[in-house]
Amino acid sequence: MIKTVIAAAAFALLPTVAFAEEAPKQSFTYTYQGVTYTYTSEVQNGVKVLKGSAYNGKVPFELKVTKNGVSGTFNRAPVNFDMHEVQHLDNKDVVEGQ
């Protein structure tokens, strides 16, 4: 499920990751199959970093997204997968916060 959730965020700024040194932090909220994910997105040293939580703040996650794949933690468990494993979603499903 997390692969589906990060698809919109991962691809929304993917071209930026490859070219930007630093980008401003952005906040997003996304609901998928009844679960709301709230997270921030920023680029650090050419890597997109998503930090947030799911299930009303009970499940923390921190993911590093590159053009090749995603690694990090979800509910304090390690995750690591290639971008070709991510299901694409419409970016319109992600609501940009601040």
Tens-digit pLDDT string for the chain (98 aa):
566 555 545 544 344 444 445 556 788 888 878 888 899 989 888 888 999 999 989 999 999 988 888 899 999 999 998 877 776 655 544 455 54
Q: Is 79 exposed, middle or buried (0-12, 13-18, 19+ CB in 10 A)?
A: middle
C-alpha to C-alpha distance for 82 and 69, rounded to whole angstroms: 4
pTM value?
0.68
Q: How far apart are the first and last CA of the chain?
A: 25
